[in-house]
Amino acid sequence: MSIHDPQDYTVSMEEMRKLFTLSVQAGMLIVDEDGKINLATDHILKLSGYSAQEITQTSFSQLMKVRASLRELYEFYFSNETNLMEWPHGFLIAKDGEAYFYQFSILRLMLGRKVMYLLAMRDRQEGLQLNLLQRFSDAFLRDINLGVLLINMDFTLVDVSDRATQILGMEREHILNKSLDDIFSSVPSQHQLVQRTILHGGVMRNHAVSWTNHTERFELLLDSNVLKDSLGNIVGAYVIFKDVTNMRSLEEMVQRSDRLAMIGQIAAGTAHEIRNPLTSIKGFLQVLRRTFEVQGMVKERSYAEVMLEEINRINELVNEFLLLSKPRHVSFEPIDVPEVLRGILPIINNEAILYNVHLQYEASYHLPEVIADKEMLKQVFLNICKNGIEAMPDGGTLTIAEKVDTVERIVCVDIHDTGSGIPMFVIDKIFDPFFTTKDTGTGLGLSVCQRIIHDMGGTIRVSSKGFGTTFTISIPYA
């Protein structure tokens, strides 16, 4: 029987302890199938900084950073020849955080009916070592802030970086050694991150894609290429992607700000020219309506009322249009955000009652003051609350929550509705001027709100997951 024939060895606890006594200078671990460390030699205890009692309260995954389960390590070890370059390897993480590179052999033992794994460690001073490139690749997949997928010719995922699992929203053990067709089976083929054409030599450079993992949305830049052996044959491929969500958001904010500035310049030069003829038209229509009313011309009077309503709507549009330019007569002063909200809650509640919406206010006491314009801040809160209420025509709950982020030094107000949510293809456009989903909306309300908060040094963010929408208004405090 070869030493590399996979089988279980039955031993007693006494035999195991004798083995450890004889191997006191060697690095050895005994771990059960649940990953609990049962025994460790003095060499391991000294290097790790743990006591014998402490290490038995430490799991194998905490002590050793290895990119596989114990069962996978065992099967891998017995599937290779006795070449040290093919032995499993990983990093032993000491109590003080220091990392030590190790290779190890592994046996599976039967202690009564319990399955145990014995790991014989070989440190960097013993025998052959992995070369620098192999060590770098292991550390790269473990530590780098990039999504990395390594694929073989069967279109199977061979390895994946920790950052990739976070972005994909998947557990490493659930996707490793599985076909990418199965991993992305719930995603339409045209939206999958990886296509089979990659194994035919397809190369991508800075390919922009959007990815949603059911909780977060990411904007990614993808690079991919094939891997070849020394004879030039394709043996696999890799995909590397970087999260550029914040960068894209900043670009969109700059572009939106430029558009608003341009519209503001146009508004400042033309608003008065629009208002002057509107005032004249409105005045004469009011006279006509009065005349029609006196003479009993009901139909003509109704026409005049329709025209006056439309003129009022145009006038409101011009007012909102003006606000896109730099707000004038703005008074920045220390403002207590809860005081502002409590002042407008009756207005919001009256609007909510009309739509059979329940208003819920979650106060946070002792919030720091922000530097803002009180009236402008009221306008923002009222506008977003009104939008949230109108998003629930069949009733629901509008929640206003206050909180403070001491790390970012901002006061936040979350306004959450329980409506149907905002579709993904629309959510990027809602702050664009003149974009609206309402039949009678002007499409300037949210643009104005964003401009007001931006002038206060804050931000407005929106998130919608198909079961409601949350607007977060963030304003820095001193």
* Per-residue pLDDT, 4: 40
pLDDT digits (tens, 9 = 90+) for 143-196: 567 788 888 888 888 888 888 888 888 887 788 888 888 888 877 776 677 888
pLDDT digits (tens, 9 = 90+) for 99-156: 777 777 777 777 767 888 888 876 554 434 445 555 566 666 665 677 888 888 888 8
pLDDT above 50 for 82: no
Range name among 265-274, 328-337, 339-348 with the lowest pLDDT average: 265-274
325 vs 34, higher pLDDT: 34
Give yes or no on whether 144-243 and 333-476 have one common fold: no
* Per-residue pLDDT, 85: 43
* Per-residue pLDDT, 2: 35
Q: Which of 476, 338, 459 is nearest to 405 (CA)?
A: 476
Q: Which of 236, 191, 182 is nearest to 212 (CA)?
A: 191
Q: For residue 251, what pLDDT band results from cuts at 50, 70 and 90?
A: low
pLDDT above 60 for 9: no
pLDDT digits (tens, 9 = 90+) for 407-419: 888 999 999 999 8
Percent of the chain with pLDDT over 90: 9
Alpha carbons 301 and 369: distance in angstroms, whole number:
52
Q: Average per-residue pLDDT in the chain?
A: 77
- Asked whether the beta carbons of 433 and 443 are under 8 A apart, the reply is yes
**333-476: what fold?**
Heat Shock Protein 90 (3.30.565)
DSSP state of 96: T
Mean pLDDT computed over 254-276: 66
Domain ranges of the chain: 9-128, 144-243, 248-323, 333-476
Structure tokens at 149: 């997928």
CA distances from 119 to 14, 105, 126, 267 (A): 18, 6, 15, 75
455 vs 369, higher pLDDT: 369
Mean pLDDT computed over 93-100: 78
* The domain defined by 144-243 carries CATH number 3.30.450.20: yes
pLDDT digits (tens, 9 = 90+) for 14-46: 555 555 544 445 678 888 888 888 888 888 888
Judged on CB neighbours under 10 Å (0-12, 13-18, 19+), 189 is exposed
CATH architecture of 9-128: 2-Layer Sandwich (3.30)
pLDDT digits (tens, 9 = 90+) for 275-310: 778 888 888 888 888 888 888 888 888 888 888 888
Contacts of 57 (CB under 8 A, 6+ apart): none
Statement: the pTM of the whole predicted model exceeds 0.95: no
Q: What is the DSSP string of 188-244?
A: -GGG-S--GGGGGT--EEEEEEEEE-SS-EEEEEEEEEEEE-TTS-EEEEEEEEEE-
